[in-house]
Amino acid sequence: MTEITLVVKQSCETCTLIEPIIRQIAEHFNLRVICQDTQDFPTGLPVEFDASLEQSYRLRIEVVPTLIIQKDGIETSRIFGWDVAAWEALLGIQFKSDLPKFRPGCGSKTHDPGMQERLAAQFSGHMLAARRLNFENVDDIEIGYDQGWSDGLPVVPPTAERVMRMLAGTRRQPDEIIGIVPPDFAPCSIEKIAINAVLAGCRPEYLPVVIAAVEAVLEDQFCMHGLLATTYFSGPMVIVNGPISRAIGMNSGGNALGQGNRANATIGRALQLIIRNVGGGRPGGVDRSALGNPGKYTFCFSEDETNSCWESLAVEKGFSSEESTVTVFAADGMQGLVDQKSRDPESLCRSFAAGLRVIGHPKMVQGSDAFLVVSPEHERIFRDAQWNKQQVKDRLLDLLMIPGEELIQGAGGIAEGLPEKLRSAVLCKFREGGLNIVRAGGRAGLFSAIIAGWGASGSTGSVPVTRQIQS
């Protein structure tokens, strides 16, 4: 049995133009007419008024008019817009009309701004597994606090429409489980990540970055559970490399470690909210940090890879410059490095080493990893001297070989320190692979920064993890 369906809207000039043609079709066939904006068009014919747009959505209408042919309930062909030759060939009739031979159609109401997400939320509810809340007649600000979703700052209510819009940022399925989030060891789906990305204020194009960051912190070597339970200062930090960082407008320049950039701020915040809302990692519970740090709200930036003479962090980790990656690091807050006088690599390395020596404690060795964030002005000093990143790292590690007599308990009148048996040893401040270097920051200012890591860095605690970002 052949079924013919025509979807129109009265506000479309092409649809009103072909009204006589619609009547001719109805004379020859049992025609089903669906109108998106009124029940009185075309006049004199039975019309299904698709006020909710459910039918148009289920028929995947993008343009009106759209003519659909079905046989035994299976679609065999469709035409959109007005093309007299195509319509006559499809229907096998000759139209009696002096209408123009061709006119483009109009956009379907299902594709009005925000409508696809609204319709998907309403008519494809099976895609979302999370419990539904009614956000009508509630305070948009207070509901985040009332439901326990907030990190202390206001959050965006995760309506079904907003979640569907967020999910459009990835090709991965909403029900895909990417891992188990500590401390509650709760399964984390793409949908749950999308919900928290909405809460954080992300745009859909940020979602693949957030997903990759979650995947990275859930790897065993990152030790997310231990990071939560420690009384130390640290929390997850995200560094983004590759084309996606530029495509979504991340900040790697001036104030890269500060406020003001939506992508930086919301990606890092989304990760923290997932740890809180999915995994249950909340201050006063398993999160036992004595002081914490402001980065536990959000800590995310991208590396400045433009016109750099150095390999990026991602390339160092084995990825190509055309691949997009996230690197997660168990980070403390930022410590500034000021050197406005050095004009040669040796002097600048000595300044950097002096700052690196004191992280955690001047006597702490092979405990905390660290990221050295070198500003473009400081990098230029190394560039002019043709020092690559590995040369800088090697010289810093040489300068950070420390005699044990300076590190033992009581040395310098400080009770803190290493056992007496290590007096004659010479120890490096960092474990092998524990010092990383990235370039970021404004083009003016001879300022760089140290981001120290958890005091339990390394195989007994946390190591940085780099993951490729999937769309």
Give the strand pairing for 370-374 and 447-453: antiparallel
Question: Residue type for 222, please?
Answer: F
R_g (Cα) of the chain, nearest Å: 30
pTM, whole model, 2 decimals?
A: 0.83
Tokens of 160: 């079904």
Between the alpha carbon of residue 57 and those of residues 54, 122, 178, 343, the distances in Å are 5, 10, 30, 65
Positions of the chain with pLDDT lower than 70, given as ranges: 125-126
Question: Residue type for 366, please?
Answer: Q
- For residue range 123-166, list pLDDT tens digits in order: 875 577 777 777 777 888 899 999 999 999 999 999 988 999 99
- For residue range 250-280, list pLDDT tens digits in order: 999 999 999 999 999 999 999 999 999 999 9
At the topology level of CATH, where does 2-111 sit? Glutaredoxin (3.40.30)
pLDDT for res 433: 94
366: helix, strand or coil:
coil
pLDDT for res 126: 59
Measured CA angle at 358 (ends 357, 364), to 5 deg: 85
pLDDT for res 431: 95
Residue 70's contacts (CB-CB under 8 Å, 6 or more residues apart) are 2, 3, 4, 5, 76
d(C-alpha 246, C-alpha 322), whole Å: 12
d(C-alpha 141, C-alpha 156), whole Å: 8
Between the alpha carbon of residue 58 and those of residues 52, 172, 173, 460, the distances in Å are 11, 21, 19, 54
Domain ranges for the chain:
2-111, 142-468
